[in-house]
Amino acid sequence: MSSEVFAQIRELKQQGNFVDAWNCGYMAFQNEPQNTYLRTSLFWVCYAAIKAIQDPILARQSKAPNVNEQEIVNSWINCIGQLNLTVPCEELDFRFFNLFKGCGEHYQSYIQMLTYYGSNLYQPADLKPYKTEKGEYPSLLVRLSRQTSKAWLQHHKQWDLNLDGILNLLNYALNNALDRNKTWLQFDISKCLVSAGRYDEARESALSVLRQKMSESWAWGALADTYISQEPKAAIACYSKAILEAHEPPFCIPMFYGLAQLFANKQEFDFASAALSKLIEIYNANGWQIKPEHEELIQQGWFDASAIESVNFNEVIKTRANDALQYATKKLEVAVGIVDSHHRSGKGFSIYLDLNKKVSARKGVFFGKGLPEVGTWLELKIANDGQQLDVMEAHKVEPKQSERVKLIEGTLKLNPKGFGFVDDAFVAPYLLNGFNDQEHVEATKIWDKDPKKGTPSWRVIKIVKSQSTH
């Protein structure tokens, strides 16, 4: 093939005449579809054309293209599709995808390309998150898969998008990306399935998210969304729980909106009006303009702005939220136990329930500041899905004793190897800093399995110097 074609493509591209550069090269490419040099040359024409449009868009605060810009970029992505690239390839790498950073969801052809190629698009490096001074930045795989879910949620009613292709990509990222935090992928899966009316599938993903984020309002909101069309009572409970867990008032906006719709559907217009009044209060406090869908509810004939004064809506929220936990698991159990240790990470703790029965809990499920002290008695609400036990809430209760948890007083006997005993109860070395041999102490002991011998014996979990004199 004549080098004149390559020279002409290069010259036209440098002049910014991308359309003529494409037409010149593509005519030749149709005659030589296996010419990899020509294919690569044409790809970089497309890249340059897209970059010329995207650079000013990425500089905007909104990063949103106008309709004409969308059409131009979509047409160039379609041109890339005509090149029949074999993926993964050097052309479709982070440089290309960075052209759509923060705005890829606005381009139908781009999203269609991501779902068409699916997992075949990615190389091993694309599965690794980026390490920066500020922490971990999402891998290319996670970033692009989340772009497809965002596009679906915003445009699936107008665009021709393949939901199963999007879900396949999200699940591939969930199972293969090396990012530490992949909770948002599960969240995206749930939201996409809800929008498609696939509520039972959505609930499975929402529950997976909630188990990790029990103290996050958006996680409870995601679960509520899965119930809104099938079990309004469950949705109301979960939205109410989400409001109680919200760290900032704006996080409550979608929850109050959901509650207003649900209460209105049940003809409980005072509660629906109160929910809308709370929503309006948040908008006004922040000086924001009310969204059209919220304004539409406010304009309904049943809305009464004074209803908030006649109902104790905060108490309504608390009462309804009490039912939320039962919808967050297949089986909810209540148990009482004693904290026997803290996790080395400082992010959780272990609770002794009985011999051979312990559960671990995350710091966030404890209703109190920080971690509960070792020796603290807790009432636990536990999710039992048949395979594992997950602590969902932990509340302090009055100290108790049982046959396998006892308070004792006695003389501490230290062993030269560093451990000790109080009567028949073993005391680990890490508990003995500052204690002396033959010192009178008070201790809490549990009947626990010895990890070395495999047999049960008494073990001290908490020890203090005795206040009494002997």
- Is residue 442's pLDDT more than 60? yes
What pLDDT was estimated at residue 332?
86
Assess contact for 238 and 227: CB atoms under 8 A: yes
The one-letter code for the residue type at 394 is A
Inter-CA distances, 424 with 309, 418, 455, 458, 459, Å: 63, 16, 14, 7, 9
Question: Which residues have C-beta within 8 Å of that of residue 218, sequence separation ≥ 6?
Answer: 187, 242, 251
What pLDDT was estimated at residue 446?
96
pLDDT mean over 51-69: 96
Domain spans, the chain? 215-328, 331-396, 405-465
Assess contact for 286 and 250: CB atoms under 8 A: yes
Lowest mean pLDDT among 109-118, 129-138, 248-257: 129-138
Total-model pTM: 0.81
The Cα angle at residue 210 between residues 206 and 214, in degrees rounded to 5: 160
pLDDT mean over 273-278: 97
What pLDDT was estimated at residue 465?
93
How confident is the prediction for the chain on average, in pLDDT?
94
Burial of 153 (0-12, 13-18, 19+ CB in 10 A): middle
Asked, colleague to colleague, whether 215-328 and 405-465 share their fold, the answer is no
- Residue closest to 200 by CA, chosen among 223, 172, 166, 233: 223
- Percent of all residues in the chain with a pLDDT value above 90, rounded to a whole number: 88
What pLDDT was estimated at residue 2?
64
In this structure, CATH architecture of domain 405-465: Beta Barrel (2.40)
What pLDDT was estimated at residue 385?
75
The CATH number given to 215-328 is: 1.25.40
The Cα–Cα gap between 44 and 76 comes to 11
* Residue 57: how many other CB atoms lie within 10 Å: 20
What pLDDT was estimated at residue 328?
87
What pLDDT was estimated at residue 452?
81
pLDDT by residue (tens digit) across 132-191?
888 899 999 999 999 999 999 999 999 999 999 999 999 999 999 999 999 999 999 999
The CATH number given to 331-396 is: 2.40.50.140
The Cα–Cα gap between 223 and 229 comes to 12
3-state secondary structure of 186: helix
What pLDDT was estimated at residue 364?
84
User: What is the 8-class DSSP label of residue 162?
Assistant: -
pLDDT mean over 412-438: 94
The Cα–Cα gap between 67 and 349 comes to 54
- Is residue 285's pLDDT more than 70? yes
Angle between helices 183-195 and 217-227 (to 10 degrees): 30
Counting every residue written for the chain, the total comes to 470
Q: Where are the beta strands (DSSP E) in 90-217?
A: 130-132, 135-137
Assess contact for 347 and 366: CB atoms under 8 A: no
